[in-house]
């Protein structure tokens, strides 16, 4: 979002400094990229899996992620969106499709890892927005956060209690990849 757009649409109701506005644009860019990737994750799962229960799980979550993407898109003009969106779409698709090749448990472990990262990411943004006195974007991110935690909890409930070394390594890779993607999306 350009500083002018944010200043007009959001900052009038809060006391955001220019530094906070620049931070907010970068964060919304990363959120938009992340929700784009999340949509692609569920599309990848749906493309690969033939498990009816997993298809129902993925379809429900896909609709929620599409809703998040729409809401964040309304705040972030196209000019301020990540220039790496095609990469985030491919990465998200593969993050869904690859585990779907291995079955529902692999998918649930993946979703647990993604949503654990997203929870931390959104919580830190919400805290900074609270510190700045911003309410509008904070309310949107809080709503998204509730959905993401619900997705994580559902996936965690459906996955085995002990995921083993391979599962823990995969979760680490997914979390590290998510963090790397957010760092890039903030800049590009």
pLDDT at 2 over 60: no
What integer is the mean pLDDT of 67-91?
96
Instruction: Return the higher-pLDDT residue of 50 and 17.
Output: 50
The pLDDT of residue 14: 57
The pLDDT of residue 116: 97
pLDDT at 9 over 90: no
Q: How does pLDDT run across 133-157, given as a tens digit for each residue?
A: 899 999 999 999 999 999 999 999 9
pLDDT at 3 over 60: no
Q: How far apart are CA 120 and CA 176, in angstroms?
A: 13
Dig out the tokens for 63 from the structure: 């609709």
Residue 158 class from Cβ within 10 Å (0-12 exposed, 13-18 middle, 19+ buried)?
Answer: middle
State if pTM tops 0.85. yes
The pLDDT of residue 174: 97
pLDDT at 26 over 80: yes
pLDDT at 181 over 50: yes
Q: How far apart are CA 60 and CA 150, in angstroms?
A: 12
Q: How does pLDDT run across 167-178, given as a tens digit for each residue?
A: 999 999 999 999
Q: How far apart are CA 48 and CA 50, in angstroms?
A: 7
Helix spans in the chain (H): 3-9, 18-48, 52-75, 85-102, 104-132, 136-158, 164-187
Q: How does pLDDT run across 41-53, given as a tens digit for each residue?
A: 999 999 999 999 9
Fold classification of 14-187 is Ferritin (1.20.1260)
pLDDT at 163 over 80: yes
Inter-CA distances, 107 with 79, 98, 135, 168, Å: 33, 9, 35, 13
pLDDT above 90: percentage of residues in the chain: 87
CA angle, corner 120, sides to 71 and 42, nearest 5?
Answer: 55
Domain boundaries, the chain: 14-187
């Amino acid at each position: 979002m350009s500083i002018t757009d944010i200043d007009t649409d959001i900052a009038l109701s809060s006391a955001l400094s220019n530094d906070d506005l620049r931070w907010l644009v970068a964060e919304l860019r990363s959120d938009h990229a992340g929700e784009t990737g999340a949509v692609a994750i569920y599309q990848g799962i749906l493309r690969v899996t033939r498990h009816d229960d997993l298809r129902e799980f993925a379809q429900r979550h896909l609709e929620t992620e599409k809703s998040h993407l729409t809401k964040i898109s309304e705040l972030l003009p196209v000019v301020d969106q990540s220039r790496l969106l095609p990469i985030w779409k491919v990465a998200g698709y593969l993050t869904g499709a690859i585990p779907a090749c291995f079955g529902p448990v692999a998918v649930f472990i993946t979703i647990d890892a993604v949503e654990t990262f997203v929870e931390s990411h959104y919580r830190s943004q919400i805290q900074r927005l609270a510190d700045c006195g911003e309410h509008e974007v904070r309310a949107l991110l809080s709503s998204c956060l509730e959905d993401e935690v619900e997705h994580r909890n559902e996936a965690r409930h459906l996955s085995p209690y002990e995921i083993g070394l391979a599962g823990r390594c995969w979760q680490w890779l997914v979390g590290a990849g998510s963090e790397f993607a957010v760092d890039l999306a903030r800049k590009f």
